[in-house]
Copies of this chain bind each other. A is one copy, B any other.
């Protein structure tokens, strides 16, 4: 405790009313509807409140009565650090926070611990709605949110029956980058991707694991890459895909190392996030591979760091994504049918992609 402990029970609206000899309604009005009572009485109420140390109507009691919590909940991935370390996630968070601020409602981060399946926090959260971001399809927290009788918006998740959704067209975005690489002539590619399921698997991900991935975004991107490259004759099951549970630049680098050690002839590293791609660039540098002359590296998301590094990537408006989700949630109730917002993506060709070296060049230099 860090404030001078009030010796007796906190003053309440009722005790204040009693002290003043007015009804509780009047005190309530003094705070909420100044036009409902004379300025003089209001002044007296407020002054007595100050004298008695009454801090104003209790927010929780008010919420109960008005059936408005004045906050929305955000459920995000099991790993909190991920959300704060990934610039794309921070962008979404910021956009969401901005939308909430605009509307004057709070944004509550709901704890969703990974280990203990402690869904209770979801039930305990006093919020008027939920935004769900980057959660695996089978996460029990997601199910818990769905069981709450409040509006919900999901970001970057597969379409759920009757639920608002915000996200880019991941398949189209992936096609853009795939077309770019195919057009440049790359056929021997490798992929670095983020975690595919809730269990840890730092290493190669076989095709079945790719197809069964619980993270919608990763699943879609991999599936689209597979389709695109298969269409130009690449046997996808032979394409190395390295997965990382954690999502850091260092993990991107180690994934690139693992992939290149086993597949030195790869001409392009396709990364399902910019962060991983930045790591791949670092690893390429360490190996003395020039980018893009010796190897092409591409990312995903188009975060500021990637732009600065000249990374070829697909940009998506992460801030807008969060904002749109917030607005959607806060305008629920106006609608009757669920709404889906698809955000535009844009291929940004940087300085990290080029045609592959020919076999000759590879042996004898350019």
Contacts and interface: CB of A to CB of B under 8 A. Distances in A.
A91 B153 CA distance: 27
A104 B111 contact: yes
Nearest to A129: B2
Q: How many copies does the complex hold?
A: 2
Interface stretch (A59-67, A177-185, A294-302): A59-67
A191 to B, nearest CB: 26
A101 B125 CA distance: 13
Given A64-B64, A90-B84, A121 B70 contact: yes
Interface in A319-345: 332-333, 335-336, 338-339
A2 B104 contact: no
A10 interface: yes
A356 interface: no
A318 to B, nearest CB: 11
A260 to B, nearest CB: 22
A264 interface: no
A355 interface: no
A80 B104 contact: no
A81 interface: yes
B111 A109 contact: no
B3 A149 contact: yes
Given A3-B152, A149-B3, A338-B2, A59 B124 contact: yes
A350 interface: no
Contact of A55 (B2, B69, B121, B149): B149
Contacts of A152: 2-3
Contact of A126 (B69, B84, B97): B69
